Amino acid sequence: MSPLLRFAPSPNGRLHLGHAYSALLNDAVARQLGGVWLLRIEDIDPARATPDNIAGIEEDLAWLGLDWPRPVRRQSDHMADYAATAERLRSAGLLYPCRCSRGDIAAAITAQEAETGKPWPRDPDGSPLYPGTCRALRPADIDRLVSGGVPLAWRLNMADAVAAAGPVSWRAFELAGRIWAVAARPERWGDVVLVRRDTPTSYTLSVVLDDSVQAITHVVRGGDLEAATDIHALLARLLGLSAPLYHHHAILTDAQGQKLSKSRASMSLAAMRQAGESPATIRKRLGFG
């Protein structure tokens, strides 16, 4: 099987240097492996994925001197597939609806902390685990909620999912060729949302299905997603989907140590282009000179 990679930005704004680094690294690794990389537009966020941002991604990547096969997969074209995938998990009894607002969740956690005198556990990204308020809903309550027309999120029952899947691991790869197994600990994330209230999928659900449908063999992405790979591996196992090898690269930060996407100093590639920077200088600055 020929190596196949992907660069998969969300069109929630213009690309910045961190994106350029990831795209250039995907291109370099694809060349090294004798494969190609695909562009995937992760536009499940209906409010933020604007046509301008989507067009801007291709424009910025082309300006950097990159090229990729067409057509480009856009997640918004595959919403029915994500919904069908969620339905498989739902009919296996692994998803439950959640009507909690952020405020409800915060209040439940505050109450728990007051009762136990201990800090509530947090996931690897630092967010408090879902307190499980809706986990105990009975089938009749669920039917009433679902037919009530109120938008609901659907959460993975992590304990049941882990029990159903058994031990899960994923494979990491180094650019020098070493491959090793990483034991997944998805339970660190608690009952994650797999179907959002505002869109019939989630980043997590879509990325797992897409990597399998597109037969991606090697994923090269930022280290901020490394811990979440445990959930991706769990879902791939539960759904019987193929899973790629993963390489998680360092996240570029600015001089103040801020992640570039969050940094006020980070300029978009479009702004750098307008300021007269050349693709060659940017490539060189990122170590691809």
Name which of 103 and 289 has its Cβ closer to Zn ion: 103
Residues of this chain, 132-161, that bind Zn ion according to CB under 5 A: 133-134
Cβ of residue 62: shortest distance to Zn ion, in angstroms?
44
Of the pair 98, 216, the CB lying nearest Zn ion is at 98
Neighbours of 208 (CB within 10 A): 25
- Residue 3 beta carbon to Zn ion: minimum distance, rounded to whole angstroms: 42
Specify the stretch interacting with Zn ion by CB under 5 A; choose among 30-38, 125-133, 200-208, 273-281: 125-133
98 binds Zn ion (CB under 5 A): yes
**Which is nearer to Zn ion, 10 or 199 (by Cβ)?**
199
Shortest Å distance, C-beta 83 to Zn ion: 20
The β-bridge partners of 38 are: 6
Cα-based torsion angle of the residue sequence 238, 239, 241, 245 in order, rounded to the nearest 10 degrees: -40
CB of 72 to Zn ion, least distance (A): 36
Q: Rounded to 10 degrees, what is the CA torsion of 113, 118, 123, 124?
A: 150
E strands along 104-240, which residues? 153-156, 169-173, 179-183, 193-195, 218-222
Cis peptide upstream of residue 71 (ω within 30 degrees of 0) = yes
Considering only residues 9 to 48 of the shown chain, the ones binding Zn ion according to CB under 5 A are: none
Total residues in contact with Zn ion, by rule CB under 5 A: 4
- Measuring CA to CA, which residue among 65, 20, 21, 66 is closest to residue 250? 21
Task: Give the binding site for Zn ion (CB under 5 A).
Answer: 98, 100, 133-134
